[in-house]
Amino acid sequence: MKYLKILLAKLRKPKPYLLDGKFEIVPAFDWEGKTYYMHKDPLNTLAGRGMTALVFMEELLMRCDASFLRDYVLAQEKILSNSKSINITELVKLNLLLKERTELLIAVPKHVLKFASVVFFTKDESPYRYDFKAGQEKIRKWEAAGDMYAFFLQTPLKDLIPSLALPETNSKQYLEVVSRIDALLFKQVRDILSGKTSSQDTKK
């Protein structure tokens, strides 16, 4: 956390600027020598960046990103493809995996970083549209830095995502557990899709 520094608006009183005379952009925080900005009113965001933010917000709220849902549907189709011998056990297991995924108590860290990569941008990025390449680079750096979930609790992001709050004790361990559960659920869906679990059951 020593490399992170929140901009104290009341002390520095940074001047916002307007895009197209109505979209107000304000500084949000400083990180590794760069100032990150955001739209002052997240609900009044330019269309290109705003639409991407909505997509990532949906993923964050569902605890499921597009890749997980796509693999889930494909795995379900695979199970149902043989009408003469549908593996009910695998179907039930797949349904439980989705249930467990959507019932995670706090936001999955990688989903928070994806959403943050849209909300916060530097002067080198366009405030009009979201650059996926630049976004992935920000996410990569934030993941490498560590503790960014806790850091974003100190930024305006906490007001946009009420579920961002962490337990008062062992928050780091809690996040690690959530990330591991997320990865395990994804792997289990992939295993069903690849037929690994079915072959293992057959051997038994």
Query: Is the full-model pTM beyond 0.75?
Result: no
DSSP string for residues in 42-93: TTS--HHHHHHHHHHHHHHHHT--HHHHHHHHHHHHHHHT-TTS--HHHHHH
Percent of the chain at pLDDT > 90 equals 16
Tell me the three state secondary structure of residue 32.
coil
Neighbours of 181 (CB within 10 A): 15
Round to whole Å and give the CA distance between 113 and 119: 10
Q: What is the pLDDT of residues 137-174, one digit of tens each?
A: 999 999 898 778 778 878 888 788 766 665 555 566 76
Q: Whole domain around residue 181: which residue ranges? A: 4-203
Q: Give the count of domains, the chain.
A: 1
CB environment 186-201: b (16+ within 10 A), e (fewer): bebbebbbeeebeeee
Round to whole Å and give the CA distance between 28 and 42: 12
pLDDT at site 53: 86
Q: Is residue 85 pLDDT above 90, yes or no?
A: no
Q: Is residue 177 pLDDT above 60, yes or no?
A: yes
Q: What is the pLDDT of residues 100-143, one digit of tens each?
A: 877 776 777 888 899 999 999 999 998 888 999 999 999 999 98
Percent of the chain at pLDDT > 70 equals 77
The one-character DSSP state at 106 is S
Q: Is residue 18 pLDDT above 60, yes or no?
A: no
